[in-house]
Amino acid sequence: MKKVLSILFLLIGLTASSQCISNQSFTLTPVGPYQPGDVVVVDYTLGAFNGININWIHAFQINLGVGWTNLTPLLTPGNPAGSVGNWIWDLQNTYPGGFNFGPGWRFVNSGTAGWGTGSTGPFTMRFRVTVTQTCTADDLSISIEVFDDCTTGGWANGNCCIDPAYNIYNGVVQLPPIITSNINHF
């Protein structure tokens, strides 16, 4: 029994320390459901990033369902007490190690190329999306993935922070009812 409890506590400890991100939140304006042509503003905050083995935060990737269009950045994440550099908006970037990223914000470290920022947050960002003009119930999911510089290939110190995508919205395009007039059979 003691051996089983030791293994259980070890697994709980590994699970608890494997997460690098915490205190995520969001707001959607307006709140869904959404119809074709609706414009939605998404505010997202990552409260804290604590990298494993000195892995630093490097990128925020926005994942959108096929029902969205016109992804537009509105507010860039800050870099409180972070490394020298800045966040840039990128639709697509392939890092030197081959990791494919985008769309979203990625940190360009002007001190050491390929590294992220040593900032632990908080990081707040805002973007706008539009529901496509469609006549089908297309996917309107929104999620954000946070990547560290070990994942992107800029730092290779042990384990990376592999955190799941943070779900912001799940839904489909709400289609307005089709109204037709009566048919006369004369």
165-181 pLDDT, tens per residue? 999 999 999 998 877 77
Q: pLDDT for 19-48, tens place per residue?
A: 799 999 999 999 999 999 999 999 999 999
Residue 162: predicted pLDDT: 82
3-state class (DSSP) for residue 15:
helix
Whether omega for the bond prior to residue 122 falls within 30 degrees of 0, making it cis, is yes
- Considering the entire predicted model, what is its pTM? 0.83
Q: Band the pLDDT of 123: cuts 50, 70, 90.
A: very high
